Amino acid sequence: MRFGVVIFPGSNCEQDVVHAAHVLGHEADYVWHGDTDLAGFDAIVLPGGFSYGDYIRCGAVARFSPVMAEVVRFAERGAPVIGICNGFQILAEAHLLPGALLRNQGLKFICKEITVTVEKSACQWMDATPGSLLRLPINHNEGNYICDPETLARMEANGQIVLRYCESDGSRAEGGSAPNGALDDIAGICNERGNVFGLMPHPERVVDPATGHTDGAVVFASIARRLAEVG
The contact set with another protein (CB under 8 A) reads 9-16, 18-20, 22, 48-50, 52-57, 60-61, 64, 92-93, 99-100, 102-112, 137, 139, 141, 144, 146-148, 181, 202, 204-205, 208, 210-211
Shortest Cβ 101–another protein spacing (Å): 9
Annotated catalytic residue 204 = yes
Catalytically annotated residue among 13, 58, 85, 147: 85
Rounded CA-CA distance 18/65 in Å is 21
Convert 147-212 into a string of H (helix), E (strand) and C (coil): CCHHHHHHHHHHCCEEEEEECCCCCCCCCCCCCCCCHHHEEEEECCCCCEEEECCCHHHCCCHHHC
> Which of residues 23 and 225 has its CB atom nearest to another protein in the complex?
23
Cα 172 from chain centroid (whole Å): 21
| In the complex, minimum distance from the CB of residue 109 to another protein, in angstroms, rounded to a whole number | 5
Nearer to another protein, 80 or 137 (CB): 137
Q: What's the closest the beta carbon of residue 189 comes to another protein, in angstroms? A: 14
Told to judge if 202 belongs to the known catalytic residues of this protein, a careful annotator would answer: yes
Respond yes or no: is residue 150 known to be catalytic: no
The gap from C-alpha 60 to its chain's centroid, in whole angstroms, comes to 17
**Residues marked as catalytic:** 85, 202, 204
